[in-house]
Amino acid sequence: MSELLRINDLHVAFPTDDGLVRAVDGVSLTVSQGETVAIVGESGSGKTVTSLSVMGLHKKGTAEMSGSISVAHDGGFLDVISASEEEIRSMRGRSVAMIFQDPMSALHPYYKIGDQLAEAYVVHNPGKKKEAAARAVEMLDLVGISEPAQRAKEFPHQFSGGMRQRVMIAMALMNSPKMLIADEPTTALDVTVQAQILTLLASLQKEFNMGILLITHDLGVVAQVSDRVNVMYAGRIVEQGGVDDIFYNPMQPYTLGLLKSVPRISKSGSERLKAIPGQPPSLISLPAGCAFAPRCEYIKFADSNACATQMPALVGTKAGHTSRCHIDESKRQASFAEAMKEVR
C-alpha cells in the first residue's frame, strides 16, 4: 500500500483582530491507497481546516501555515505548503478531489449539472469538451443516477439532497483521483440517504482503490467505513488508532466522552444523552497543558498539576494506537472499563 498523503507536524493559524487563532496545532497523519482515514471531532476542533489545508484552499494571506503536507501527485509528491498556486491548482480535482457537507450550496445554482461536471475534466484536459461531456454522463451513471444523459441537462435545484451528493461524488470522480477528501459528506442528509451515500463511497473506493480522508463528527459514520481514526480536540490529535482500538479500547477521556455521547436506545428508555460537560477552549488562548483538562472527569486519576502545565505527548501502548493523556495507565484501564459497560 503506497502512501497518498503524509501530513507532518502541520500548524495552521489565522491572525485576527483578537489575536492568533491556532486552528491546527501539530497534526501528523497519513492516508494510503485503498484505506479510509477518519478525522473525528467537535466543530472547531480543526478537522475541516486540516482538510482545506490539504487542498490549499486557505486564502492567501489569511492563514499562517507550517509543517508539511505531501500529496502524491504526478508520480511524485507535492508539498502543498511550499508549492506554487499553479502546481496546487493542477493537483486539485485531479490527484485529490473533495466533496462537501452541503451539496445544495456546493453546486453552482446557475449552471447545468453536466456542465459543472464537464468543467472539472476540461480544467485539467483543455479542449476536450466532448470527452468531458461523455464522461460526465458516465460518472452520473456510475454514482447511481438514472437517465444520466437527461439529468445532466438539469440544474442543481431539480435534484434531491441525496442525489446532489451523488452528483458531487460524480464530479469528484471526473479525473479518477487517487485520493478523495470527504468533508462531512452525510451530515446534511436524511439518515436513510446517509447509508446509501456511505455504501456508494465504499464501493467506489473499492473499485478505484482510492484513499479517503473522511472528516466527520459522527462516530456512527466512522464506525461504518473507517480503517483508521484520528480524534481531534482543540487543533490537536488526541488519539490515533485503528477503528477497533478507538471504539473498543479508547485511551483518552475525550474519546471516551465522544463514545458515551452517541445516542442509543436504552432498555429503560429513560436514559438521557450524556454530553461532555463544559465548552471547548478558545483557540486564541489555549491552556499551557492538556487542552481537555478543564472538562476532564478523570483528572482525579492524574497529576492535576501536570495536566494544567504540560501538554501530554502522543504516546501509545502498542503500535498504531497512541493518545495524549497524563492519567496513570493502570488507573485508566480500571475506570474506563467501568465506563465502557455503559457504551456497549
Q: Residue from 29, 38, 69, 106 that binds another protein (CB under 8 A)? A: 106
Q: Looking only at residues 252 through 271 of this chain, which bind another protein when binding is defined by CB under 8 A? A: none
| Contact pick of 41, 44, 46, 93 for another protein (by CB under 8 A) | 93
Decide the pairing of beta strands 179-183 and 211-216: parallel
Return the number of the residue (94 or 332) whose C-beta is nearest another protein. Answer: 94
The minimum distance between CB 154 and another protein, in angstroms, equals 9
Tell me the CA distances in angstroms from 232 to 44, 149, 287, 323, 324, one per residue in order.
10, 42, 16, 11, 11
**Residues numbered 131-190 forming contacts with another protein, rule: CB under 8 A:** 155, 157, 168, 171
How many CA atoms, within 13 angstroms, populate the side-chain half-sphere of residue 162? 15
Nearest residue (CB) to another protein, 111 versus 208: 111
Binding of another protein at residue 11 (CB under 8 A)?
no
The candidate with the shortest Cα–Cα distance to 77, out of 11, 8, 3, is 3
Query: Which residue matches cell numbers 480503517?
Result: 227
Single out the residue of 31, 120, 189, 307 in contact with another protein (rule: CB under 8 A).
120
Distance CA 51, CA 334 (A): 36
Q: Does 115 bind another protein (CB under 8 A)?
A: no
Taking every pair of Cα atoms in the chain, the longest distance, rounded to a whole number of angstroms, is 66
- Contact with another protein (CB under 8 A) among 33, 34, 77, 123: 123
Residue 33 CA from chain centroid, whole number: 16
Report, in Å, the least distance between residue 159 CB and another protein: 12
Q: Choose the stretch contacting another protein; rule: CB under 8 A; options: 69-77, 99-107, 265-273, 312-320.
A: 99-107
Give yes or no for residue 85 binding another protein (CB under 8 A): yes
Q: How many residues bind another protein (CB under 8 A)?
A: 28
The C-alpha atoms of residue 181 and residue 36 are separated, in whole angstroms, by: 10
Cα(106)–Cα(57) distance, rounded to whole angstroms? 14
Contacts (Cβ under 8 Å, ≥6 apart) of 190: 161, 162
Tell me which DSSP letter residue 33 carries: T
Does 202 participate in binding another protein (rule CB under 8 A)?
no
CB nearer to another protein: give 98 or 152.
98
Check: CB of residue 235 under 8 Å from CB of residue 287.
no
Element containing residue 13 per DSSP (H, E): strand 3-16
Task: Choose one: 7-15, 86-94, 316-324, 331-339; the region binding another protein (CB under 8 A).
Answer: 86-94
Give the range of 40-48, 117-125, 131-139, 320-328 binding another protein by CB under 8 A: 117-125
Site stretch for another protein (CB under 8 A), options 39-47, 94-102, 246-254, 264-272: 94-102
Cα–Cα distance, 29 to 7 (Å, whole number) = 5
- When the beta carbons of 180 and 231 are compared against another protein, the nearer one is 180
**What order of strands is seen across the sheet that includes strand 211-216?**
96-99, 179-183, 211-216, 36-40, 228-233, 236-242, 321-324, 314-318
Per CB under 8 A, residues contacting another protein are 55, 57, 85, 89-94, 97-98, 100, 102, 105-111, 119-120, 123-124, 155, 157, 168, 171
